[in-house]
Chain A
Amino acid sequence: MSQTLVEIKHLVKGYTRGEQLVPVLHDITLDIARGDFVALMGPSGSGKSTLLNLIAGIDKPDSGILRIDGQDIAELSESDLADWRASNIGFIFQFYNLMPVLTAFENVELPLQLTNLSKSERRQRVTMTLALVGLADRMEHYPNELSGGQQQRVAIARAIVTDPTILVCDEPTGDLDKQSASDVLGMLKRLNEEMGKTIIMVTHDAHAAEAAKRIVHLEKGELLGEPVAG
């Protein structure tokens, strides 16, 4: 198992808005090691979310190399990419993105529906994961019955229940109060340090970025500073 988990070389991405081509990322080269906790920072419009989306496999680069754990994901078809995401990526969004009609338990169970696990195996994993984030007693509650912080913890549980290679977080504390934010960041740190999860986090909050092991700055689609590994 190589130490470099994410290998990015000369990545370029732009969007078409009507007639215009808007360039977002210009020639990004970056390595991320296994077990790293990287914070992507930059002003709005810097392209940090775009970079995160590409690494997570929910968008495709225009050109460049994007290899994750040896797999060139730019080459994958839409359905293969879906399968790849299911096994390799865990998502944590700013607005939690839980299914409002499913209970906390069912929300966490959702990614496991894509596996071959039996119902009892799924139940075991979900219960364990929810206990890990401290919400074992709230399993049957619906999102609208939980506070913001609790919802984000459910989201974290959902993100880790499949034991993914990378945790991808887009402004995970953006909608939380100070205490909840602190709890969430602490949880992420533990996942990284105690369970060796590789975490890539986009944030504009310098305080949140302190939880990470290293910070990468983006401005106007370009990396600032050296692409240092580990």
Chain B
Amino acid sequence: MKIPFNYIFRNLWTRKLTTLLTAGGMALVAFVFAAVLMLDAGLNRTMVGTGSVDNVVFIRKGAETEIQSGITRDQAALVESQPQVARGADGNAMASKESLVLISLTKTGQDKGSNIVTRGVSPMAQVLRPQVKIVQGRMFQPGSSEIVVGKNIHEEFDGVAIGQKLRFAQREWLVVGTFDAGKSAFDSEVWGDVEQLMQAFRRVNYSSVIVKMTSVDSFDALVKAVQDDIRIALDGKRERLFYEDQSRALSTFISFLGIFLSVIFSVGAMIGAAITMYSSVAMRTGEIGTLRALGFRQPSILVAFLIESLLLGLVGGIAGLACAAFLQSITISTMNFQSFSQLAFSFLLTFKIVLQTLLFSVVMGFVGGFLPAVKAARMKIVDSLRAA
């Protein structure tokens, strides 16, 4: 490319207001594009982080979520006894029988309640989920009416500070600790002793059984054994996949919305770029003629103007990304359609998203600037010089 880069860059710099407005429009589009990708990535990280590859979740056949499911004590015992289930040092199965209910808690600043997953867990629960760590207070005592709350619950909801009591099922439940679940779905849950919770709710059945496998490859054998035993009639899914599936609808919704918005916004930005570049070409008709007269070829002219609009896109993309990066400090807490309960996740900026956004911005600049660049290159020399 023979036309000096200085020429291209300085032309953008000279018309500062126009450059700013055009790149600004593209920055906004890049921002929205990156934000949606980041939201989906954040949601994915939460769901993926919720499940472990060597855990399996069992729920009743036909149920789609733990809330809909019911497992009898006998069934749970049979699952625990399977050879593919890992054993702890004391010989006990590494399994957690859990009971899920939704309770309604009020977010700070709202007057209406939101559904929160309250999970009755067995002592093995923390072992099966190493990402869960108590960060304030302590874990609840088994056999007591104590509960612990996840980080998101602690931050967003009223009445769940350590020492406060929640009242439901004719009992008072004392909050004794807060846990951090590494940005997984458990951050949005309240945990208590499974037997106590089931007693209070007059339940006899568990919702789910989570087991740790002896090895990651035991999955097929374990599920087959469970399904072959007609007394059991349960479905088993790898824990990670189980939670990913639970957020599929929400994830699809976010992606859909995101694509819709990005397409529309990008058209607006490309139109802005086209208008700017057409004007740029019109203002420099004389220069274009001179460059051609001096011997610069048509493709060089085309490329020079294309680079100008690509630069606009790139600058916009970088600015938009920089702003989007700040979103990472924001947490979104909303209802997950499928589980009917609150789920908190935040924005996650990955290297892949950076590349995608920059590419998207550059393409916007390219498409917006293409026709004007062609017009510049195809001008007749004598006409351009005369018009100068």
Contacts and interface: CB of A to CB of B under 8 A. Distances in A.
Interface of A: 53, 56, 58-59, 78-79, 82-87, 89, 91, 93, 95, 97, 99-102, 106, 109-111, 113-114, 158
B3 A93 contact: no
B20 interface: no
A143 to B, nearest CB: 11
Main SS class of interface, B? helix
A102 B14 CA distance: 11
Interface string B1-41: 01110110011011000000000000000000000000000
Contacts of B298: 78-79, 82
Contacts of B6: 101-102, 106
Interface residues of B, number: 25
Nearest to A109: B4
Given A59-B381, A97-B388, A102 B7 contact: yes
Interface of B: 2-4, 6-7, 10-11, 13-14, 286-287, 289-298, 381-382, 385, 388
A155 to B, nearest CB: 10
Nearest to A80: B297
B382 A82 contact: no
Given A58-B381, A58-B385, A101-B14, A85 B7 contact: no
A24 B167 CA distance: 99
Contacts of B290: 91, 93, 97, 99
6 nearest A-B residue pairs (beta carbon): A86-B295, A101-B10, A58-B381, A97-B290, A85-B295, A82-B297
A14 B55 CA distance: 85
A59 B384 CA distance: 12
Nearest to B12: A101
Given A93-B290, A113-B4, A82 B385 contact: no
Contact of B294 (A78, A86, A100, A102): A86
B252 to A, nearest CB: 49
Contacts of A106: 4, 6-7
Given A106-B4, A106-B6, A82 B287 contact: no
Contacts of B294: 85-86, 91, 110-111, 114, 158
A83 B295 CA distance: 6
B287 A97 contact: yes
A113 B292 contact: no
A118 to B, nearest CB: 14
A114 B289 CA distance: 16
A56 B388 CA distance: 18
B382 A58 contact: yes
B279 to A, nearest CB: 16
Given A79-B298, A97-B287, A101-B14, A58 B293 contact: yes
* Most B C-beta atoms less than 10 A away, residue of A58, A79, A101: A101
A117 B85 CA distance: 75
A85 B298 CA distance: 13
B299 to A, nearest CB: 8
Contacts of A84: 295
Given A58-B385, A82-B297, A110 B287 contact: no
Nearest to B382: A59
A7 B117 CA distance: 93
Nearest to B1: A113
Contacts of B7: 99, 101-102, 106
Contacts of A89: 293, 295
B286 A82 contact: no
Contacts of A85: 293-295
A102 B10 contact: yes
B293 to A, nearest CB: 5
Contacts of B4: 102, 106, 109-110, 113
Given A86-B296, A99-B7, A110-B294, 5 more contacts: A58-B292, A78-B298, A82-B296, A86-B294, A91-B290
Contacts of A158: 294
A59 to B, nearest CB: 5
A85 B293 CA distance: 7
Contacts of A109: 4
B8 to A, nearest CB: 9
A114 B2 contact: yes
Contacts of A83: 295, 297
* Most B C-beta atoms less than 10 A away, residue of A59, A100, A113: A113
A114 B296 contact: yes
A113 B2 contact: yes
Contacts of B14: 100-101
A79 B381 contact: no
Given A78-B298, A79-B298, A93-B385, A56 B293 contact: yes
Contacts of A53: 382
B101 to A, nearest CB: 69
A96 to B, nearest CB: 9
B388 A82 contact: no
B295 A114 contact: yes
A176 B6 CA distance: 29
A26 to B, nearest CB: 19
